[in-house]
Each structure stands twice: as structure tokens, then as C-alpha cells.
Amino acid sequence: MAVQKLKVVLTRRLPDVIETRMRELFDAELNLDDRPFTTDELKAAVARAAVLVPTITDRIDADVLAQAGENLKMIANFGAGVDHIDVPAAVERGLIVTNTPGVLTEDTADMAMALILAVARRITEGAELVQRGDFHGWTPTWMTGRRIFGKRLGIVGMGRIGQALARRAKAFGLSVHYHNRKPVSPRIAEELDATYWDNLDQMLSRMDFVSINCPHTEATHRLLSAERLTKLQPHAVLVNTARGEIVDEAALAAMVSRRELAGAGLDVYEHEPAINPALLGHPNVVLLPHMASATLEARVDMGERVILNIKTLQDGHRPPDRVIPAML
């Protein structure tokens, strides 16, 4: 007698190899047109699914979860961040929430380092200039940026991604500083030659570059508030590849406009996908479309973690990547 497959609903298109494997293992319902689900569609999905596979574009709040059917067992998030899911409400309903930690680390750290270089060395500005046909020959004083070697980098959030960025920064000759809920282990601190600051304001006021690498939680919402942003020195550069809600975007835009900050490199936004118009048009601001983890390898790895979590549940075991409210 054939074993009944779990009903799995995917809210977005995933790499073909992942969707194919999902169909082999589960009763997987694909979103072939890749259009984000509406709230009503999310409610209908949790009513019929045993497992929902959402992404960052889906708001899984208590209102949506209230429509969950008796068969819903798990929300297997395609992504590491779960700030778009009301995890306490899900757990209270007896649901398991999982994510895909670790698989985005190297790619996100690469992008954070790339943004530091892009802003400091005016890379996108120079590339656009050449595309416009405005390059008329080298001169000693034209398109001068800033050297990063020997400068100080302050990392806000020293988890997997923060540590991966620190390794890259050290290779580029940057002095690594960090703020975290608690210091990293002595072994990691020694490996990275990293200086810990328990007071974020004190760290910010001394850095040449600041990178946001912490998760978005209630505790980190607008962690870099308008007041805290003023602690940055006028020559500092702020980079964010974490979540836009961690920074007061309007205050950041105003500081850049008033030249109270040397520049910014952003891959995420406070009201994504909307971008504050005040951030546009500045040559010293590099804006990317939330692409830090956008490598084929990362997307496939994320899908494989989702499959592992669902398959473990189906086999009657505890999924390895459970998200516990106390962890947030």
C-alpha cells in the first residue's frame, strides 16, 4: 500500500532541481507563475497544506495562522530570517517552524565586502560613467576614492555572517571590531583579531566602516535609530545586507543628503520593495535589489535544507532547523 505523501504548498518558484525533488518526495503544489501570494491565498494555503513553504515575501501573521487546517504541521521557511513569520503564534498552535541557517553565510559576507569596496572605491559610479561614454582618459585627481587597508570596520552582529565578513575584512587589512549580545569565544576572537564593544554607541563613533549583520527582531528593530546614526563620523560608510528595518532609513537618507555621512551600501530596505526616494540619485550610495544571497548555489542549498526539514518531519523525527521563539 502506497504511503500518502505530505501536501506541501510552495508560495514562490524555486530552482527546477528543488521543485522536481519536491514533486518526487511530496504532494507538492508549485507556484509556476512566481506571483507572490495575497493574504487570502496564504489563508487558503494554510487551510489545505500539511507543510507551507513560504519566503520573505509572505507575511505569516496570527490572522493567517488562524485559518490553519487540522493537517497543517509545519512552516518550512525558504530562508534564514523568520521575521515575516509570527513564530510564537505558530508554536502556540502546535506548529513547527524551520528555516535554512548557514547556507547563505558566505554569499552574504561576499556582498557585504563588495558593498564596502563599491562605496569606498566608487566602483558603480565609475562603471556607469564608462557606460555613458564619459571616460576621456586618466588624470591624477579624478575619481579618487578611499583606501580601506588600515581602516576600522565595525560589525553589528557577530553570528555566522558577521564572522565570515570579519575573515574577509582581515584579509583586506581592515581592523575588525564588533558589537554583539555577548562576546564570541576566545578562539574565534583570536582568529579574527577582533575587538568586542559592549556599548554600540561607543563602537559606532570610532569606525570608518559599519556593517549590519544581525537578524531583525523586536530588540533590533531600528537598532540604528536617527539618534544612534549621529554617532557615526562624517567620513564613515554604512553597509546593510541584513534587514532594512534595523536602520532608520529616512534618517540615513537625510544624513547622506546633508553630507553628514560619507556613503552607504544597501541591499535591503525598511519598506521593501519600496525604496525611500531620498536615497536615490546619490553617487556615494550603492543600492542593490536584495541580492546578497542570490547565487544559484545558495538557492539550491536553501531548497535542500527545506526538503531535509520536511522529509525529517515526514519520517517521524524532529526537523534539524526548528526555530524556537526564545532564539529570536
Candidates 243, 245, 270, 305; catalytic one: 243
Known catalytic residue at 290: yes
- 82-112: burial string, b at 16+ Cβ within 10 Å, e else: bbbbbbebbeeeebbbbbbbebbbbbbbbbb
Q: Is 215 within 8 Å of 180 (Cβ atoms)? A: no
Which of 19, 125, 260, 272 is catalytic? The answer is: 272
CA 173 to chain centre: 25
Question: Are residues 26 and 44 in contact, defined by beta-carbon separation less than 8 angstroms?
Answer: no
Rounded Cα distance between 46 and 262, Å, is 46
Name the one residue in this structure whose C-alpha cell is 502506497.
Answer: 2
Nearest alpha-carbon partner for 77 in 69, 87, 67: 87
**How do the residues of the chain divide into helix, strand and coil, expressed in percent and rounded to 5?**
35, 15, 50
- Per the structure block, which three cell numbers stand in for 238? 554604512
272 belongs to the catalytic site: yes
Half-sphere exposure of 13 (CA within 13 A, CB side): 6
Is-catalytic flag, 270?
Answer: no
Residue of 121, 152, 206, 290 marked catalytic: 290
**Which of the residues are catalytic?**
243, 272, 290
